[in-house]
Amino acid sequence: MAEELRKKAAEMLLKGATLLSEPCPYCKGVRVMKEGQALCISCGRKPEKKEIPNQNPSKDAASSIEKTLEKKMEILTKELEQEIDHEKQQNILKTINSLLETIEKVKGKQ
């Protein structure tokens, strides 16, 4: 079988395949690749195709940021209700406006 594998690998190389620098994950033998197909010259095995779950950590992070910003908004809203100093009210309103803009940006990225 090893001789057949060597012949097949030689044929692949003659047809434009390349030797891979990474060894076979099973036997550490030399591998040849052509058109996305890798073949180990020693054992003949091809690596298993594994499904990689499509996770989007940035979406989770954006959701977490959004929740934090909304909590801050609630706190500022309560402060605004309690505040009687006009200048402090203006500062709270500016901060609320800034939070609203940030929340919209975060929602736009989701």
In a domain, 101, yes or no: yes
Question: For residue range 68-89, what is the model confidence (pLDDT) as tens digits?
Answer: 999 999 999 999 999 999 999 9
- Its domain, for residue 80, covers 57-109
Residue 48 has a pLDDT of 63
62 and 104 assigned to the same domain: yes
How far, in Å, CA of 87 to CA of 63, rounded? Answer: 32
Average confidence (pLDDT) over 44-54: 62
Residue 51 has pLDDT above 70, yes or no: no
In a domain, 19, yes or no: yes
Q: Which two tokens stand for residue 34?
A: 């052509």
Number of domains into which the chain is organized:
2
In a domain, 62, yes or no: yes
Q: What is the model's pTM?
A: 0.45
In a domain, 89, yes or no: yes
Confidence of residue 55 (pLDDT cuts 50, 70, 90): low
